[in-house]
Amino acid sequence: MSDSFSPLFLSRSPILDTLSWLIPSIDWTTWPTQQQLDTLRRNSLSSSPIPRFIYPETQPASPLYYEQQVFQQHEVPTRFANWHDLFNALCWLTFPHTKWSLNQRHIDELQGQADTRHRTRKRDAATLLDESGILLPYSSPSLIMALIEHDWHTLFVTRRAAWQHEIKPLVIGHAIFERAHQPFIGMTAKALPIPVEPDFFAWPLPEQLRHLDTLIAHQLIQPDFLATPKEMPPLPYLGIPGWHPGNEQLAFYQQTTYFRPRHHTKMS
């Protein structure tokens, strides 16, 4: 994504639709000032306290790890004119309970490590969800089976009409938002399937997000939840209907270097 700022940045791609609820609250014409970031914190989807987004360029260097700074000082370093960090801040507003739970998981794992230079599998899983995660609320289990089996034809072609009605992609990973304006074949997310009732898909977007935020935050408290990155199947998300202009053509899904078949481990 270009470093140049556009006030219409949240409207440029359907991949950014998860953040569309913020559009009425953002009237920036240039990169936000510290005061504008502070004002933005009042627009969270929940009553959960939001850490302060600070420009580290204007602050003394912190001796703490990023996760420790968030946990102890309730500050999120947010580099100026940096899309990655700006989208991280917007994700804090959208999924505050989940972001706090992810931070708590990092802190818990760090406290149990003798050598903090080596990441645990739980921390790896938390980071992948935070950076490259897409939530997949679904009411039809067969769609998730197609995802797990890499049955891309069923997921994206045969059941194309199910998207937004029986399964919906909601981005939580801020690195995905960062890449949205310059998509390239190969972009893949870690998917977190979440079973929901069919009426979920008729709810307004803010209500959907609040529900998922509370649900995932509660699950992250459970020690066996997301114990390893393997619990999140890969999702070649440019195959999602509407997320890439090329996927209106069947030939798009025949790119097996992107839509890869699943390799089953043979039993000896």
Ranges of each domain in the chain: 9-111, 133-250
Q: Report d(CA 50, CA 64) in Å as an integer.
A: 19
pLDDT tens-digit map of 5-45 = 999 999 999 999 999 999 999 999 999 999 999 999 888 88
Nearest of 173, 188, 187, 66 to residue 129 by alpha carbon:
173
- pTM for this model (two decimals): 0.94
pLDDT tens-digit map of 44-83 = 888 889 999 999 988 888 888 899 999 999 999 999 999 9
Dig out the tokens for 138 from the structure. Answer: 């679904």
Contact 197, 29 (CB under 8 A): no
pLDDT interval class at 268 (50, 70, 90): very low
Residue with tokens 């890969």: 234
